[in-house]
A = this chain, B = another copy of it.
């Protein structure tokens, strides 16, 4: 329908990049894109750490289990940032527990995701490519330590981007009638029947990560992923709590 929609529909995750830096005027434009993104109640509880230090990159690449993090020109970590607004409140003489509640946390987390997606679309519209990495949650605490994040902050997602050195196939996705409902949720049982066609499409797709090897069906992937889950990832909220956030409503005293 237009350039924007074409860009979005052409999205592929890029995991191999040319050794060409992203020009500073493009970085400036991407920051303007980040800045103009919707933000919960206007309070802008997201910040970005641009990781250029090769030592930090290497440690993040290790914990993410993604080697290309070492080589990609740009690597940005979007962080929930309620530290800044809390400091502002404190300097104004107002100290309360409210700035630490999970509502504030989720507002910041949402701001990060909206911002990362907008930057990714802008990146792709400029002929570059990128990858969103939730893998930083393999060890959120280590990311916090590496980036020297203060209390009341938390890494939400990372974005790697640059000029692509590969041209992957567009990955098959489930039909929207399996996930777009009217007025109420719709159970589609038996699911293995409903997903038969999609399972077949997925098995026709070749993943560049394992060239010439067919990928598993979607329904098999779910089980495999659950079986190979990194135990540390279950402790995400434990780390959030350690960062000073108050998880449950009843923990409030005022």
Given A117-B118, A222-B85; A184-B37 close (CB under 8 Å): no
Which B residues touch A179, using CB under 8 A?
Answer: 44, 46-48, 81, 84
Flag if A223 contacts B94 (CB, 8 Å).
yes
A99 to B42, CA, bound (A): 34
How far in angstroms is the closest Cβ of chain B from A210? Answer: 14
State which of A61-69, A160-168, A245-253 sits at the interface with chain B: A245-253
Chain A interface SS verdict (over half):
helix
**Residues of chain A in range 206-232 having any CB-CB distance to chain B below 8 Å:** 219-223, 225-227, 229, 231-232
Q: Are B174 and A44 in contact (CB under 8 A)?
A: yes
Decide: A88 and B118 in contact? CB cutoff 8 A.
Answer: no
Contact, CB under 8 Å: B117 / A190: no
Contacts of A46 in B (CB 8 A): 179
Inter-chain CA distance A53–B182, complex, in Å, is 9
Known: A85-B222, A89-B222, A191-B88. A38 touches B132 (CB 8 A): yes
Selected contact of A8 from candidates B43, B122, B246, B252, CB within 8 Å = B122
Contact B237–A102 (Cβ < 8 Å): yes
Contact partners of A180 in chain B: CB under 8 A:
31, 34, 47-48, 50
By a CB distance below 8 angstroms, the chain B residues around A233 are 101, 103
> Interface residue tally of chain A, by bracket?
35 or more
Question: A161-187 vs B: 1/0 string, CB under 8 Å?
Answer: 000000000110111101111111101
Between A40, A179, A180, A191, the greatest number of chain B beta carbons within 10 A of the residue's beta carbon is seen for A179
Instruction: Name which residue of chain B comes closest to A91, CB basis.
Output: B192
In angstroms, how far is the closest chain B Cβ from the Cβ of A165?
Answer: 19
In angstroms, Cα B249 to Cα A137, docked, is: 13
Contact A49 B183 (CB under 8 A): yes
CB closest residue in chain B, given A101: B234
Q: How far is the CA of A132 from the CA of B37 in the complex (A)?
A: 11
Can you list 17 A-B contacts with CB-CB less than 8 angstroms, sorted by A residue number?
A1-B29, A1-B126, A2-B126, A5-B125, A8-B121, A9-B32, A42-B221, A52-B183, A81-B179, A88-B195, A91-B192, A94-B227, A102-B236, A103-B236, A113-B113, A235-B248, A238-B249
Known pairs A35-B175, A46-B179; list 9 more (Cβ under 8 Å). A5-B126, A9-B36, A31-B176, A35-B173, A41-B134, A44-B173, A48-B181, A83-B185, A106-B134
